[in-house]
Structure formats: structure tokens, C-alpha cells
Chains A and B, each alone.
Chain A
Amino acid sequence: MEPYQGVDYMDLDTLLTEEERMIRDTTREWVSARVIPIIEEHYRAGTFPDELIPEMAEMGLLGANLDGYGCAGLGAVAYGLIMQELERGDSGLRSFVSVQGALCMWPIHTYGSEEQKQKWLPGMANGTKIGCFGLTEPDFGSNPTGMITRAEDKGDHYLLNGAKMWITNGCISDVAIVWAKLDGRVMGFLVEKGTPGFSTRRQGHKMSLRASVTSELILQDVKIPKENLLPGTESIHMKGPLSCLTQARYGIAWGAIGAGMACYDEALSYGKERIQFGRPIAQFQLFQRKLAEMITEITKGFLLNLQVGRLKEQGKAHPSHVSMAKRNGCYWGLWIAREARDMLGANGITDEYVVMRHMCNLESVKTYEGTHDIHTLIIGHRVTGLPAFEG
């Protein structure tokens, strides 16, 4: 079988720089060689492929778009292309890199003190330290502002109490960025593994993102040293966590299209080989219509992601731009995966093929970091000036 060559219907490659293509191709080759052969087994077993962490770190995939502290300092588009290729392998792997880079390293890089940056970023870039991001709570998902988790100023330390849920990397993390209310204002705290009162519990029984660690974080009278408050988050309230989400959502937009590309690619080659009624099923009009719709949405999704990326590089991207790309990528990525599963017939339900794994994964990807509906309302807010989710 020919190696995966990507999905490019109309010379979209010419919109990328030589460097961006090389970064994309390198990640793609690595995913083909190292991820694809092992990911099904991890998915079956419900384990994260942590043997890949050192390799990803060595290539520089962790915090790749950050400057300094051992990070590669890539532009937004190159970073997006990495996410696209990682999620072509599996959403769980891309989720790991998103959480490590966009939700943990980015806030430390953006809101942390110099000491915090020196302490955490080099180790997180080289994969020896893992991070997670605790915002969502059992009763506060789409409405994080309502969070119950509290921080109290006890003079020489902060005291944290509360619980977080659906936390990617939770159990395997050396540090959690926990968002908590101090006098009603949301701030970010670095909670280190092993701090008394801080525990994690793995959430099992998932039908999606099985090759990813999802956890609860439990905080019971956890004493946090004063220097573990992210100083930049002290006076910006919800803008702190939301700005992190904007970074991660941007990567998700690319990743979801990457998963769609994997499904399209598999459906296309299956359709050309599978013979029914004496001809390849790809010759039938209904099959071709599906392929045509899939590749059209992949092409449009890529262009949307690329434009948001270019705006980001110019410092002109608005969170609502990212919302459109995240909403679009996940919606169509999932749609493509569902169609592709259909096109593979009975074979499509087995894990001999990638489509159903991607389809199940994308149900999570469409839901986390702002559901489809929440992003709809963010776009609605932007175009009308009228917020649907406030009063």
C-alpha cells in the first residue's frame, strides 16, 4: 500500500512555506511510522501511548509555537499543521499535545513568573514533565464561570478546595493548572503532584478518546505556596482560562480536519478496491457524491484553518474566529467520519479500519473545549453584539 500522502485537492500546498511543508511532512512520516502501527492496540486497551512522549519531545512537538525555554518557536500555521497530522493518527495523541502545549505551557509562558517559566517550561518541552488543565467541574461545563472550586488567601499560602472533571492527562501530570475563585475572581494556580490533599482519579468506561487519559482532580484543603499563583491571571478573571482555550481550540480545528482526512483517505482507497455488482463501489454515483462532499469540506476546512492561522501570526485573530474554525472542523470532521464509516459497510465497524475510531473520538472533540452549540452562540454574539448566554 502507498504511504499516506495527505489530502490536497487543489494545490493548497502552494499556500504554505517550504518550512511549513517540511514540518508537516516530518510529522506525517513520524505518525505513519510510529503511531499508526500501535494506536489500535492502545485504543482497545484504553491506554495512552506514553512511549511516544520522548520521541515527540525530541522532535520538538511539545509547546512548538512558544519561544525560548527549549521550545521551537514555530508560527501558528506550522503548529496547526502538526495538530492536523497528529490527529490523522489519533485524537487522543493530539489531545495530549494540545493540553501539554496550549493549555499548560502556554499559560505558564503567558501568565507565569520568570521562576515559574524556568521551573516548568524546559521540562515540559523535553517531555519529562507533564501538565494538565483543570477548569471544567462536574456541575460546570459550558458555564465555567459558575465554578465552585475556591482559593482562600491564608497569608503565607493559598488553600484550595473543589473538584475538576474531564481533565485530559490528569493522572499522569506532574503539575495541574487549577482555576479557582479567590474572592469571586477566577485565577490560575499551579498544583504540583504529591501536594497533600490533592488527588486524581482516572475516569474509565469511555467509548471515545480511549487512547487518552481522562481524570478527575480532587482538592481537599490543599495548601499551595504563594508563588504558585500564576501572577498574570490575578486580575483578568475568566479571560485567563478562556484565552488558554482559544489556543487549544485553534489546534483542535486543524486536528479535526486531520481526522477527517484520514477517514476520507481510507474511504477512497476502500471504494476503489471493494467490488460489488462487478465493479468498484467507488464507481457508483452515491459513493462518489459522498467523496465529493467530503473532499469539498476538507478543502474548505483547511482554508478556514489556514486563514485563522495567518491572522494569528499577524496578531489579528479574534477568539470568535477560532470558534468558527473549531466548530466547523469538528462538525465536518465528525460528519466525514460518519459517512466514511457508512461507506466501508460492515467492515467499517471493525478496528481493522480507522474510521470508527476517528468517529468515536470526534464525538468528544466536538464536545470538549466548547460544544458545537456554545461556539454557535459565540459566533452569534460576535455578529449580533447580543450575548445569548448572559441574562
Chain B
Amino acid sequence: MKIAVCVVVAPSTDTKVKIGADGKTIDMSDVKLELNAYDEFAIEEALRLKESTGDGEVVLFSVGSPATIKEEIRKGLARGADRAVILDTDTTQLDSSAVAALLTGEIKAFEPEIIFMGKQSVDYDSAQVPSQVAAAMGWPVVTKVSSLAIEGGAFRAEREIEGGVEVVEGTLPAVISAEKGLNEPRYPSLKGIMAAKKKPMEEKAAEAPAPVLVIDCLELPPPRPEGKIVGEGPEAAAKVVELLRNEAKVI
């Protein structure tokens, strides 16, 4: 089975975000980049699918500058993906639709039966790319999948919704976006890491379409106001309750 996985390299989740001088971009100096955490579930699911079918190919697709993201993409190869394609373009002006258009153009040529990706990237959290890729492919999409079973050409996906679980059934081809908990991603083995060096990583110059959405400005949330001390010990309890009820209005 031919399996495509879209991955993105994003700032690590413990980054202290600083806004760049232009007020519209994140200052990327001193930012540690990581393979998007949700994409790890997507890669793992793709590898398991390949292993269960006994043959096939798992190919990673990513948009970005090879020099900055290559090392992280290789970690996906170390886990077991067969090869990677990096669409080399300047990502500062890209919106989700441009990313989806770039990915779709490349993935079409590969002719996969299924496309996996994380439910969203941890930087802008838009969660748009899975649906937009599916629309461009003309395929169904199931987003935020927390459990997946595939047999023959049919799939059964579970997604957690408010107060319950939604079960979606359909036939391939399809786009599946991964929620945390879809599986437990494996650690790359040392042999996998050694083998990753020899796996093909194709870099292709890509022309991004003009974005539909343009970021006007970025702002950090205002600093939290200083707390106030209303008293000490049991005597303060009544005052705290009163403030919680009347000022914060939370009880």
C-alpha cells in the first residue's frame, strides 16, 4: 500500500515565543525546531499500516526550508518511513491553503491510497491542512482520529467529541488526521537511525501560491496582573469566597 504522511517541523512546544521586529512573524532565532508532535502519531499509524499489510511504501511530505528542517524530517525516516520529499519554499508568508496546495500537487503524483497527518501543527494551530488537502484530492477526510481500523479498502475511525465518541466508516482513499492517543509512537531504533542516513530525501524547489489569509499582526497575551493578598489563615477564607463569588464570579 502506498501511504503518504504530511509532516511539519514546528517550534518545540516549550518555546517561549517572541514576536519578530515586523510584528507579524515569530522570531525564529533561538527557537528549537521539532517534528510536530501530532505528526508523530500520523507517522506511527502509517508505519503500522504498512507493517500490517506486509508491503508498501511510506513517504513523508513536508513544506519548508531543507536546511532548517532536514534533521527533524530524518527522524521520521529513522522511525521507519521509506523516503521523504521536502518542498523547498519560503514559509513566512504561507497560509494553510498554500501549504495544502503545495502538498496536494506533490502527493497526487505519488498516487497514495491514504494520507495521514497530525490534526494540526503546534505553532499556528489552524487545523486546516487536512481538510484542504482532502478537498483538493476530492477525498473524504476524518479529522482528529483517536482510533483507526483498516480492512480491505474500508476504514473505521473513532473521534472523540464532546461527551462521547463518534464512529465514522468509509472506504479508501481518504485523509486521516491524527489526534493524540491514536497510538503510542515508537522510539527510533539505532539501526533505524543508521539506515535513515541512506534513505532518499528529495528536495524540490516549489513555488507557493499566494496566500488567501495574511497575518496582520501578532500580539502576546497581556501579562497577568499581580495577585493580591486578602489576609492570612482561616480568617481570610470568607473574604476569598466573597471575591470568588462577586468579583471573579466563578462560584
Contact = CB atoms under 8 A, between A and B. Distances in A.
Interface of A: 2-3, 18-19, 21-23, 26, 29-30, 55, 58-61, 64, 72-74, 78
Interface string B115-143: 00000000000000000000000000000
A60 B75 contact: no
B190 A72 contact: yes
B144 to A, nearest CB: 23
B224 interface: no
Contacts of B190: 23, 26, 59-61, 64, 72, 74, 78
Contacts of A78: 190
Contacts of B75: 22
Contacts of A2: 14
Size bin of chain B's contact surface: 10 to 19
Given A19-B197, A30-B187, 13 more contacts: A2-B14, A18-B71, A18-B197, A19-B196, A22-B75, A22-B196, A23-B190, A26-B78, A26-B193, A59-B188, A72-B189, A72-B190, A72-B191
Report, nearest first, the 8 A-B pairs whose CB atoms are least far apart.
A60-B190, A72-B190, A60-B189, A2-B14, A22-B193, A59-B189, A72-B191, A30-B187
A132 B110 CA distance: 51
A73 B197 CA distance: 14
Contacts of B196: 19, 22
A18 B71 CA distance: 7
A55 B187 CA distance: 9
A19 B193 contact: yes
B14 A74 contact: no
Interface of B: 14, 71, 74-75, 78, 187-191, 193-194, 196-197
Contacts of A55: 187
Contacts of B193: 19, 22-23, 26
Contacts of B71: 18, 21-22
Nearest to A29: B187
A60 B192 CA distance: 9
Contacts of A3: 14
A58 B79 CA distance: 12
B194 A73 contact: yes
5 contacts: A23-B190, A26-B193, A30-B187, A72-B191, A72-B194
Contacts of A21: 71
Given A72-B194, A73-B194, A74-B194, A22 B74 contact: yes
Nearest to A17: B197
B147 to A, nearest CB: 22
